[in-house]
């Protein structure tokens, strides 16, 4: 079994898509092992998105992710990292995400693309430690 970090970004919370998104996770057969609604500060956002520092979209991304409450979750199951990325759809909701995925069904913007998922088991471990430092592994 494997764990991944899921974020329902501020746009997903603002658009009242939390229930729909969590339902998709549960229907896929993945399990929620931690779940929290929180507003994050700049420091946590920078740590989470450290790999994007210096990119043109980085300042706007920090602004967006700290702008309003988001939902953070740890999701567990066989191949959870890839399974969640499949449900989420590609980063660009129009060019990459296909219909049937969260982004393909509900998003238009490459920044405000509703959800985040760790891109590998190693990233998942790093990100879960940032968001849920007290969760036992
Ligand atoms: P996430 O890591 O959030 O699941 P991802 O792995 O699909 O997304 P990354 O390339 O890691 O995509 O980018 C992280 C986030 O940064 C994206 O989800 C999106 O919100 C934002 N982002 C990425 N590329 C762009 C871009 N070209 N313009 C604006 N925002 C972007």
Token readout for 124 is 């998942």
Question: In whole angstroms, what is the distance from residue 4 CA to residue 14 CA?
Answer: 23
- 31 pairs with which residues across the strands? 76
What integer best gives the mean pLDDT of the chain? 98
For 123-127, what is the mean pLDDT?
98
Please report the pLDDT score of residue 55 as a whole number. 98
Question: In whole angstroms, what is the distance from residue 120 CA to residue 51 CA?
Answer: 14
Helix (H, G, I), strand (E, B) or coil at 98: coil
ipTM: 0.93
The answer to whether 91 is annotated as binding is: yes
pLDDT tens profile 78-99: 999 999 999 999 999 999 999 9
Domains and CATH numbers, the chain: 2-131 (3.30.70.141)
Contact (CB, 8 A) for 49 and 65: yes
Please report the pLDDT score of residue 52 as a whole number. 98
Contact 91 CB / ligand 1 (< 6 Å): yes
The answer to whether 28 is annotated as binding is: no
Please report the pLDDT score of residue 71 as a whole number. 99
Contact 112 CB / ligand 1 (< 6 Å): no
Catalytic residue among 116, 117, 118, 127: 116
116 counts as catalytic: yes
Q: What confidence tier does 136 reach under pLDDT thresholds 50, 70, 90?
A: confident
Q: What is the pTM of this model?
A: 0.97
């Amino acid at each position: 079994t494997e764990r991944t970090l899921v974020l329902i970004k501020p746009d997903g919370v603002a658009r009242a898509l939390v229930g729909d998104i969590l339902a998709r996770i549960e229907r896929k057969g993945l399990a929620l092992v931690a779940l929290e609604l929180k507003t994050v500060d700049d420091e946590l956002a920078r740590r989470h998105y450290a790999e994007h520092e210096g990119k043109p979209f980085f300042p706007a991304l920090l602004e967006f992710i700290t702008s309003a409450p988001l939902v953070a979750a740890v999701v567990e199951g066989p191949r959870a990292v890839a399974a969640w990325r499949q449900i989420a759809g590609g980063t660009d909701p129009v060019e990459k995400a296909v219909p049937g995925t969260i982004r393909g069904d509900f998003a238009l913007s490459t920044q405000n693309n509703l959800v985040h998922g760790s891109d590998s088991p190693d990233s998942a471990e790093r990100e879960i430690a940032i968001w849920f430092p007290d969760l036992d592994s």
